[in-house]
Amino acid sequence: MSTIACLVNNVGMVLPFELFAGEVDSPNEESIKNIIHCNILSTLIMTNIILPKMLTQKGPNPGIINISSYTALKVTPYLTIYPSTKAFIIQFSRCLAAEQYRKNVIIQTMYPLFVSTNMTDLREATYFTPSAKVYAKSALDMFGVEQQTTGYFPHELKAFVYNLLPTSLWVKIIERTFTPISRQSKKFD
């Protein structure tokens, strides 16, 4: 491999909603370790492998894009471990960017809202919930523009509005969002 233009750390694993709704037992130690390995450790290891090569390259600035989640920026009950691990990604990226700012490596963090993927279980793409392909194109268009971004203009709009809400109202919205999901999952049991 002669040069590396960009590393995209885009991994995510979440526990089933019910584990944090008080309806079944708490997650076991193995589940917690799996989420930490997937959401945190893989990003650290890939960055550790690729960054030294990027630092020795000549030519255009290479970059590392770490995908976090908007849930990392807000109190997000019922998903506790997921947003906590994604908050780590934001802080890791900020610290890494501060270390590398004079070394011509662009470090960028994306924190999208919902994207239509298997993990989100949102099959139908909409304007505010884009397909993975639409989101990826938009996010790559933002490469190098901002150090931290949602990566998708409609997500920026939603984040702006959500950031105006007091935490208590935000939590009520999250509860209303996840209560129907919990009921629907019980129908399939």
Residues involved in catalysis: 82
Question: DSSP labels for 54-118?
Answer: HHH--SSPPEEEEE--GGGGS--TT-THHHHHHHHHHHHHHHHHHHHTTTT-EEEEE-----BST
Q: What angle do CA 38, 48, 2 make, to 5 degrees?
A: 115
Q: What angle do CA 145, 37, 186 make, to 5 degrees?
A: 95
Assess contact for 127 and 154: CB atoms under 8 A: yes
